[in-house]
Amino acid sequence: MTTSEQLFEKAKTLIPGGVNSPVRAFRSVGGTPLFIKSAKGPYLYDEDGRQYIELINSWGPMILGHAFEPVEKAVRDAIQHSFSFGAPTRKEVEMAELITNMVPSIEQVRMVNSGTEATMAAIRVARGFTNRDKLIKFEGCYHGHGDSFLIAAGSGAMTMGIPDSPGVTKATAADTLTAPFNDLAAVETLLANNHNQVAAIILEPVVGNMGCVLPEPGFLEGVRTLCDQHGVVLIFDEVMTGFRLAKGGAQERFGIKPDLTTLGKIIGGGMPVGAYGGRADIMQLVAPAGPVYQAGTLSGNPIAMSAGLAMLHHLNEHPEVYTRLDAIGEKLTTGFKAGLQKAGLPYTINQLGSMFTLFMTERPVANFSDAKSCDVAAFGRYFHAMLERGVYLAPSQFESLFTSIALTDDLIDQVIQANEESLLVMMTGSPER
Ligand SMILES: *Cc1c(COP(=O)(O)O)cnc(C)c1O
């Protein structure tokens, strides 16, 4: 037994499924999750001392590579002044100023502790602002584990086959309307059938949580226009794309201005942080400025703010990070496509900047039902073949991969080589694990 296997056996007796977040359990790919001991730059090290090239990077935050020195130093410095005060700090003001500079649609911002908290608060504010109850989300988009969002949800919910979670009341579910991603006509129909009842439309402008799915030309613009026509608050959930696709997120890349934005992942530099913000007239409704209640004992935590500030400052001041990430994404995609061609597999790759997914399907993937056409058994074999070759992917077909700037050209070549070999192993049908 490996150390990971021993730890997992014990974990399963103490923690539901042995993990603190579902996708980590390797359920959809089979086998035992690796227990991670440490990481540095482009590498992850497990409890058995094996080294892996990182293509998840903590689901996004490690965009500058693991244990990036300026972030590490900021945390070390901050720790000397105690860890939490439950009172306002200078760093929170700096953080708010930096976020509003980097993401111009955000005029005011509130810090929270996770992406889930950010999206739950954002829809509450949108409901308070419009005095309406309903919400439109897209099938396969994931917005954290708030009750309202566990309807046709992506990410782990999709991977585990539970996109509609038990435990969500019928009343809550009834207020969440869903449309296929990239289907503007479906949104129009929902708005017409629920006249003056829809408070918000929430979406991932580039989806990461059913695998990487791009908005078709005109889709985001169309949603923006419909929101304006119907008095609906447009929420971009940029927990994944924020500070990743550009310093101002997907909204900068596509030139669309949402009313509210939710942030997470990169914003904490690896610490548990989220944020929501947007138009000042909407954010002024948040307590204590206004009547919509939202609070948090550890919100704006000084250690977390220090890590996040160091991360965001670096991204804000080094635009070459994004040029490099785009180049890495393109080089990987080109190499993966060549691998598919050699293996004679007509599979689909979606990519934008540092986000990409190899979908085990011949169909172009533009929405949830396209994504669901993938051969997940083949993905499981491929996943383990990659792991065997020292490449750590997301343990699910329905996730995007995330690169960091720590990925050198040599490492990219190694990953491309591993992909070629793994596709061949996958086709023989026998998992290596
Ligand atoms: C990860 C994610 C969330 C949830 O964030 P947590 O910090 O895991 O609660 C919400 N929305 C999107 C788009 C995400 O990718």
For 44-71, give the DSSP string. Answer: EEETT--EEEESSTTTTT-TT-BT-HHH
Q: What share of the chain is helix, strand, coil (3-state, %, to 5)?
A: 45, 15, 40
How far is residue 208's CA from residue 142's CA, in Å, rounded to a whole number? Answer: 8
Question: Band of the pLDDT at 157, cuts 50, 70, 90?
Answer: confident
Question: Which residues fall within 8 angstroms of residue 336, CB to CB, at 6 or more apart?
Answer: 349, 358, 416, 419
Alpha helices for 80-138 (secondary structure H):
90-102, 115-130
Give domain status of residue 155, yes or no. yes
Q: Are 259 and 337 in a shared domain?
A: no
Please list, in sequence order, all residues whose beta carbon lies within 8 angstroms of the beta carbon of residue 16, skipping any fewer than 6 positions away: none
Q: Which two tokens stand for residue 317?
A: 């001041």
Q: Is 240 in the pocket of ligand 1 (CB under 6 A)?
A: yes
Same domain, residue pair 262 and 395: no
Q: Is residue 433 part of a domain?
A: no
Give the C-alpha separation, 264 to 268, whole Å.
7
Same structural domain for residues 199 and 87?
yes
Please determine, for residue 160, whether its predicted confidence score (pLDDT) is greater than 80.
no
Q: Residue 408 belongs to a domain with what CATH number?
A: 3.90.1150.10
Q: Is residue 347 over pLDDT 80?
A: yes
* CA 58 to chain centroid: 10
Give distance in angstroms: CA of 185 to centre of ligand 1: 27
Residue 432 confidence (pLDDT): 58
Q: Within 13 A of 300's CA, how many CA atoms are on the CB side?
A: 19
Residues with Cβ within 8 Å of 317's Cβ and at least 6 positions away in sequence, in order, are none
- Are residue 185 and residue 334 in the same domain, yes or no? no
Cβ of residue 116 lying under 6 Å from some atom of ligand 1:
yes
The pLDDT value given to residue 433: 57
Among residues 257, 227, 261, the alpha carbon closest in space to that of 130 is found at: 227
Q: Would you say 280 and 107 are in contact if contact means Cβ atoms under 8 Å apart?
A: yes
Q: Is the domain of 78 the same as that of 57?
A: no
The answer as to whether 419 is a domain residue is yes
Nearest to 332 by CA among 365, 363, 355: 355
143 Cβ inside 6 Å of ligand 1 = yes
Question: Distance from CA of residue 429 to its chain's centroid?
Answer: 31
Residues 33, 162, single domain; the answer is no
Cα angle at 248 between 67 and 75, to 5 degrees? 25
| Band of residue 430 on the pLDDT scale cut at 50, 70, 90 | low
Q: HEC profile for 157-199?
A: HHHCCCCCCCCCCHHHHHCEEEECCCCHHHHHHHHHHCCCCEE
**9-42 burial, b for 16+ CB within 10 Å, e for fewer?**
eebeeeeeebbeebbbbbbbbebbbbbeeebebb
Q: In this structure, are 311 and 209 located in the same domain?
A: yes
Residue ranges making up the domain that contains 392:
3-67+319-428
The reported pLDDT for the residue numbered 162 is 73
Cα–Cα distance for residue pair 280/298, rounded to 1 Å: 24
Provide the pLDDT for residue 424. 96
Any atom of ligand 1 within 6 Å of the Cβ of 113: no
pTM higher than 0.85: yes
Confidence of residue 153 (pLDDT cuts 50, 70, 90): confident
Domain boundary among 317, 344, 367: 317
Residue 431 pLDDT level (bands cut at 50, 70, 90): low
Rounded Cα–Cα distance for residues 211 and 165 (Å): 20
pLDDT exceeds 90 at position 154: no
* CB of 399 sitting under 6 A from ligand 1: no
Chain centroid to CA 337: 24
| Among 293, 317, 341, residue at a domain's last position | 317
Q: What's the 305 CA to ligand 1 centre distance in angstroms?
A: 18
Three-state DSSP class for residue 289: coil
Task: Give the CATH number of the domain where residue 113 resides.
Answer: 3.40.640.10
Does residue 158 share a domain with residue 271? yes
The reply to whether 272 and 329 lie within a common domain is: no
**CA atoms of 431 and 372, how far apart (whole Å):** 22
Query: Best substitution site from 24, 57, 143 to test ligand 1's pocket, by max atoms within 8 Å of Cβ?
Result: 143
Q: How far is the CA of 95 from the centre of ligand 1 (A)?
A: 20
The catalytically annotated residue of 265, 276, 322, 372 is 265
Residue 388 token pair: 């065997």
Position in ligand 1 atom list of the atom nearest CA 144? 4
Q: What is the pLDDT of residue 16?
A: 97
Which pairing describes strands 391-392 and 51-54: parallel, antiparallel, or unpaired? parallel
Give the number of the atom of ligand 1 that is nearest the alpha carbon of residue 264: 7
Query: Does residue 180 have a cis bond before it (omega within 30 degrees)?
Result: no
What single-letter DSSP state applies at residue 348?
Answer: E
Number of structural domains (the chain) is 2
- Out of 59, 62, 239, give the residue to mutate to test ligand 1, the one with the largest number of ligand atoms within 8 Å of its CB: 239
Helix, strand, or coil (residue 222): helix
pLDDT in tens, 187-203: 999 999 999 999 999 99
Catalytic residue among 175, 237, 259, 370: 237
Give mean pLDDT, residues 406-424.
98
- 3-class state of residue 349 by DSSP: strand
Give which of 298, 277, 250, 239 is closest to 125, Cα–Cα: 277
Q: pLDDT band at 161, cuts 50/70/90?
A: confident
Is there a single domain that holds both residue 161 and residue 90?
A: yes
Same domain, 312 and 273: yes
104 CA to centre of ligand 1 in angstroms: 21
What is the Cα–Cα distance from 269 to 64, expressed in whole angstroms?
9
The mean pLDDT value of the chain amounts to 96
Residue 412 falls within a domain, yes or no? Answer: yes
pLDDT at 429 over 80: no
What is residue 269's three-state secondary structure? strand
- 303 and 180 inside one domain: yes
| pLDDT tens per residue, range 55-106 | 999 999 999 999 999 999 999 999 999 999 999 999 999 999 999 999 999 9
Where do we find the tokens 């056996």? 9
Q: Is the CB of 124 under 6 A from ligand 1?
A: no
Name the pLDDT band for 158 (thresholds 50, 70, 90).
confident
Q: Which among 317, 352, 380 is the end of a domain?
A: 317
Mutational test site, ligand 1, from 119, 141, 263, 271, max ligand atoms within 8 Å of CB: 119
Q: How far apart are the first and last CA of the chain?
A: 13
Is 265 known to be catalytic?
yes
Give the count of beta carbons closer than 10 Å to the beta carbon of residue 356: 23
How far does residue 264's CA lie from ligand 1's centre (Å)?
7
Kindly report, residue by residue over 228-260, the tens digit of the pLDDT. Answer: 999 999 999 999 999 999 999 999 999 999 999
The structure tokens listed for 99 are 């976020």
Pocket-testing residue among 155, 240, 354, ligand 1, by greatest number of atoms within 8 A of Cβ: 240
- Asked whether 115 lines ligand 1 (CB < 6 A), one says yes
Closest by alpha carbon to 38, among 49, 27, 22, 23?
49
Residue 5 neighbours by CB under 8 Å, 6+ apart: 32
Which tens digit of pLDDT belongs to each residue from 275-324?
999 999 999 999 999 999 999 999 999 999 999 999 999 999 999 999 99
